[in-house]
Amino acid sequence: IGSLVFCWLAIPMIQADLDQFRCIRNSSKPCRDNKKAMPAEIPAELLENPAGHGCTMIIRPIAGQLYAPADHEVFQLVLQKFAEHAQHAYIVLCHPEVNHASFWEVYSLMLCQLAADNEAFHKEILANAM
């Protein structure tokens, strides 16, 4: 159960951190480097408005849902039944904020809450996970 709770809590937290880093990294202007002759990356402004800079957009968008549908089982962090049970326990705990500082405390509270809820449910989850 501990590894399922860890996945249910940690993966969304890490993904949110990565999304925030990507947003900051992609929107911040790099420091000036006099040794650099040409930019190594395409500026975001050029991608957003190529016609304004006398360019033609030749990059074609790909339908991500076609190749990686969000509801595919590979994107499920944990079993659906456990996710529902974990969501209920999370609601009982009043939606505590999960971040690097509070992660282990929330993790411990979730384990205690899940243990208090239903021992038979744990046996069923473990049987399905293996």
Would you put residue 54 in left (φ > 0), alpha (ψ -120 to 50) or beta?
left
The pTM score is 0.64
Reduced to 3 states (helix: H, G, I; strand: E, B; else coil), residue 101 is coil
Asked whether the beta carbons of 11 and 77 are under 8 A apart, the reply is yes
Closest alpha carbon to 6 in 111, 97, 113: 111
What's the Rg (C-alpha) of the chain? Answer: 22
Tens digits of residue pLDDT in 37-87: 666 666 777 777 878 878 777 777 777 777 778 787 878 888 888 899 899
Token output for 111: 């384990």
